[in-house]
A and B are shown apart, each in its own frame.
Chain A
Amino acid sequence: MEDAGRAITAARARVVAALAARLRDLDLAEDAFAEACAAALTAWAAEAPRDPAAWLWRVALRKAFDPGRRVAVRERASHDPPAPAPTPEDLLMAADEPVPDERLRLIFVCCHPAIAVDARAALTLKIVCGLSTERLARAFLMAEPAMLQRITRAKRKIRDAGVPFEVPRREAWPERLEAVLATLEIAYAQAYEDAALAADGAPFAQEVLRLSGLLAELMPDEPEVLGLAALVRYAEARRPARLDAAGAMVGLPEQDVGLWRGDLIAVGARLLDRAANLRRTGPRQILAAIHGAHLSRRETGITPWTDILMLYDALLVVRPDAVTSVNRAVAVGEAKGAAAGLEALSAIADRARLTGWLPYQAARAALCARAGRSAEAAEAYRAALDLSPAPAERLYLERRLATLASGG
């Protein structure tokens, strides 16, 4: 049965995408797939089919097109008759008609610019990766009913406004692909944060890893797609080193490189190489290069801060936002000394708005501490702690504050 679960997970994205493209209705596609899975658990008890995806596709299609069942599915009747197992004929047909690969279409639908920005990441993870509403609500720090409403509203908009189930034409790619990449970035940021909060963060990140890899496989000539896939792999490679035994966050420069995952680093490097050969740089490629530079400490023993600062300077040109500015100031602090770092931090234009932002306070605290300005450092650590950090980061900040107080 564990095998059946694995086979279903592996087939999921492809089958749901094919169903959605055929049925032009996300709800119906999800329902039909769920029904086919329920049928599979019984039918596969003795022996799993040779091609589980094709089996699920055939059975789900039949369920979706059966008019009686369609109503039953819609009304979620609890007294549904048990699903009929597919006949040998069905399996033969399945062999004749491979599951069409519509995953790219589905991703473009879920990330359509006509869908609210804050709904796209959740919808994509729900429909393409099959994450539950409950799981998404936890990851996005929302109440489950609110998350359900957000997803339901997005699905309804897709159906009622006539969002097409198509991969957009080439000329529309700059805008449409940007929306897809931004969505995946949000999804990954969520997964990354999540890892620090919850022990079960890893499966969530696993889905984003899978999704970004899938996109890279489907669009191998888009450098930013490859850049994002590399970025996610580089960041994930450090996951085993991000928390210490006590559950406290470990800062990047203090992480034990022996815990970093060489397999993911190698895949990330290959993706980034391929992106570089396409000679169209972009923010995700630069970000990935920054992560890659940090990872080079695994080989050389030192972090190349001067290189990292140059990369941040480049990133700031294409992505002049607060996050980049604060991270760049940290790099300045490492490459040119804490005083220079603090100067860079205070040169950020809309600094007043940053005071309520945890990474800003944490960066200021660390720079002040290194510059010997202990009182200001303590003040910034306290400000950071007041901004409700995740448990792992709270522990980290508390320790830093304690070290400061003891004059260490």
Chain B
Amino acid sequence: MQYMLLIFEAVDAYDGEDGQTKLMDIVSKHMALAGELRASGVQKEGAGLQGVETATTIRTGGGVKTVHDGPYAETREHLGGYYVIDVPDLDAALAIARRIPVLDGTKVEVRPLIVH
């Protein structure tokens, strides 16, 4: 089965003096994990997303589409990145989700993909 692992982290997770150091640390751990998962054929795709300040949203209302600055909702947490993996079952997906490098307070949501 294919699962998407969605990483939700605080918008200000990498703010502050040591933010850059923390970010570099996490990113290098992501590279290591992704490298391993790709080599074993588990990872289909995945990426980190640029900051929420780069987000643009298209809203549809009354049949009209309008372009807005910002994410779909103003929340304290945002989608920071994702992995798409192909594993036998939920336990295998959860085992990988647990290994995703995160800061304290981060949440990783595991969702099966609809595969046709």
A binding-site residues for B, Cβ under 8 Å: 112, 114, 160-164, 166, 168, 172
Contacts and interface: CB of A to CB of B under 8 A. Distances in A.
A172 B93 CA distance: 14
Interface string B13-41: 00000000000000000000000000000
B112 interface: yes
Contact of B112 (A112, A161, A164, A168): A161
A168 B91 contact: yes
Nearest to A171: B95
Contacts of B112: 160-162
Interface string B74-95: 0000000000000011111110
- Binding site secondary structure of chain A: loop
B91 A166 contact: yes
B91 A172 contact: yes
B91 A161 contact: no
B36 to A, nearest CB: 19
B103 interface: no
Contacts of B90: 112, 114, 161-164
A308 B88 CA distance: 49
26 contacts: A112-B90, A114-B90, A114-B94, A160-B112, A161-B90, A161-B110, A161-B112, A162-B1, A162-B3, A162-B88, A162-B89, A162-B90, A162-B93, A162-B112, A163-B89, A163-B90, A163-B91, A164-B88, A164-B89, A164-B90, A164-B91, A164-B92, A166-B89, A166-B91, A168-B91, A172-B91
Contacts of B89: 162-164, 166
- Binding site secondary structure of chain B: mixed
- The range of chain B's interface size is 10 to 19
B114 to A, nearest CB: 9
A280 B3 CA distance: 37
Contacts of B91: 163-164, 166, 168, 172
Nearest to A168: B91
A161 B112 CA distance: 6
A279 B3 CA distance: 41
A162 B113 CA distance: 11
B81 to A, nearest CB: 21
A172 B94 CA distance: 11
Contacts of B1: 162
A161 B94 CA distance: 11
B94 to A, nearest CB: 8
A161 to B, nearest CB: 5
Nearest to B1: A162
Nearest to A172: B91
